[in-house]
């Protein structure tokens, strides 16, 4: 009889993470659960999501003008609102409940019900800032979530982390290393692979088919280093021997777009810096074609007090597509890139400009990095490699 696994992700069930679990579907009976209201669209044909009502679903069912006050009230009394109203039946019928993050309400609920049911709890932890909620004692929500996190660290059966920074955070919070496994994250190597350029991006931007394109894909927010990239690109264009017909593309959305457009104009780069709205994360429909038309991906994230890059899925998607990658030293980026790309000190725009200049001026180096990146993800981040690490954990907790 197959072991039954309940995969609980609240509003964050997504195609990108599911890639890591597809090789396990033959040997385990999975049930995938998400929010009842406004879940992310799932295009993975092997997965039929099931919905649960969560506390935040109730908030979103209220008139829009009442939602902020209801959310604050709910956080004050209950802490994290990503809490399912009931999962007792799931605990009764599944041997493993696989949740995410020590701070989420559905993880707390799964742990609380261990006293009544014999299920095991496995927690994937992306968070890599230790004591993320507990170190702000002035916020009541932090105190409540901190108390829940303490129970998770004590009673969860195993923790999975995508990178060593998350393992270190858990270790500092008191989790024994023997209960933590670093598994990485998988990329679909068939969907993301090197292909000839289609020229679609160039036509959409109205630029020459021979133009080279540097791309940032993600949220347009300050901590993603989007202004550093713009300024490094400006330096690239102000050398004594500037490169010809090189363009910078921001693919994504976020609150800084208008400010980026303003600074672009101040730098006299209007014809060379472009924006395309879209969702970079968990978008296996658009991203493969985008990567096949660009020349370099840059992820210039900046560490802040409350956040540093937890993984960077666009890095492994770009490397799988044969696109050279440049990343900052924020969080997990250097580990994820490994020997498959180039890193630079976060916030060092001259170093970033230098790496861009080298990649764009040296075709042999560009080809070498493209090859190394693809080989790196084949070794470390294939669905087979990542799922094998997950399988070992499931076997430890359930036999």
pLDDT of residue 137: 62
Calculate the average pLDDT of the chain: 94
Query: Does residue 104 sit in helix, strand or coil?
Result: coil
> What is the model's pLDDT at position 54?
92
Q: What is the pLDDT at residue 285?
A: 85
- Sign of the dihedral defined by the CA atoms of residues 62, 59, 66, 254, in that order: negative
pLDDT band at 44 (very low <50, low <70, confident <90, very high): very high
Q: What pLDDT, in 10s, does the model give residues 148-190?
A: 899 999 999 999 999 999 999 999 999 999 999 999 999 999 9
| Segment 257-285, tens digit of pLDDT | 999 999 999 999 999 999 999 988 888 88
For 229-269, the DSSP string reads HHHHHHHHTTSSSPPSSEEEEEES--TTHHHHHHHHHHTT-
User: Which pLDDT tens digit goes with each residue over 333-355?
Assistant: 999 999 999 999 999 999 999 99
pLDDT for residue 144: 78
The pLDDT of residue 162: 98
Ordered domains of the chain (ranges, CATH): 3-186+382-398 (3.40.50.2000), 200-380 (3.40.50.2000)
Over pLDDT 70: what percentage of the chain?
Answer: 98
Q: Pseudo-torsion of CA 163, 166, 171, 172, nearest 10°?
A: 140
Q: What is the pLDDT of residue 167?
A: 98
Q: Which residue has the higher pLDDT, 225 or 78?
A: 225
Supply the DSSP symbol for 160. E
Query: In the chain, what percentage of residues exceed pLDDT 90?
Result: 82
Average pLDDT, stretch 10-37? 96
Res 291 pLDDT > 90? yes
- Helices and strands counted in the chain (H then E): 16, 13
Mean pLDDT of 362-389: 98
The DSSP line for 198-212 is: --HHHHHHT--TT-E
The per-residue pLDDT for range 192-207, each reduced to its tens digit, is 999 999 999 999 999 9
pLDDT band of 139, cuts 50, 70, 90: low
């Amino acid at each position: 009889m197959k072991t039954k696994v309940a995969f609980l992700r609240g509003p964050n069930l997504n195609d990108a993470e599911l890639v890591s679990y597809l090789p396990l579907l033959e040997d385990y009976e999975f049930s995938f659960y998400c929010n009842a209201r406004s879940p992310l669209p799932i295009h993975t044909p092997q997965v039929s999501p099931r919905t649960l009502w969560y506390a935040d679903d109730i908030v979103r069912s209220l008139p829009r003008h009442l939602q902020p006050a209801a959310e604050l009230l709910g956080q004050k009394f209950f802490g994290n609102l990503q809490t399912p109203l009931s999962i007792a039946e799931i605990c009764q019928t599944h041997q493993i409940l696989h949740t995410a993050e020590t701070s989420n309400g559905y993880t707390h609920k799964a742990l609380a019900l261990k006293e009544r049911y014999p299920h095991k709890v496995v927690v994937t932890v992306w968070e890599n800032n230790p004591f993320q909620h507990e170190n702000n004692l002035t916020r009541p929500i932090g105190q409540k979530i901190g108390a829940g996190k303490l129970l998770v660290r004590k009673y969860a059966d195993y923790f999975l982390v995508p990178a060593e920074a998350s393992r270190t955070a858990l270790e500092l919070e008191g989790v024994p290393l023997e209960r933590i496994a670093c598994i990485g994250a998988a990329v679909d190597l068939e969907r993301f692979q090197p292909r000839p350029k289609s020229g679609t991006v160039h036509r959409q931007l109205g630029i020459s088919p021979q133009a080279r394109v540097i791309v940032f894909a993600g949220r347009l927010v300050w901590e993603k280093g989007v202004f550093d990239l713009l300024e490094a690109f400006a330096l690239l264009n102000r050398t004594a021997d500037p490169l010809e017909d090189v363009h910078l593309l921001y693919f994504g959305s976020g609150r800084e777009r208008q400010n980026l457009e303003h600074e672009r104009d101040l730098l006299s780069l209007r014809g060379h810096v472009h924006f395309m709205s879209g969702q970079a994360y968990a978008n296996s429909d658009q991203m493969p074609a985008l990567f096949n038309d660009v020349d370099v991906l840059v992820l210039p994230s900046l560490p802040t007090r409350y956040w540093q890059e937890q993984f960077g899925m666009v890095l492994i998607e770009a490397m799988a597509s044969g696109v050279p990658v440049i990343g900052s030293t924020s969080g997990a980026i250097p580990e994820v890139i490994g020997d498959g790309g180039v890193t630079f000190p976060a916030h060092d725009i001259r170093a970033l400009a230098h790496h861009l200049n080298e990649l764009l001026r040296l075709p042999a180096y560009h080809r070498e990095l493209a090859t190394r990146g693809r080989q790196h993800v084949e070794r470390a981040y294939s669905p087979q490699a990542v799922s094998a690490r997950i399988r070992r954990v499931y076997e430890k907790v359930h036999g």
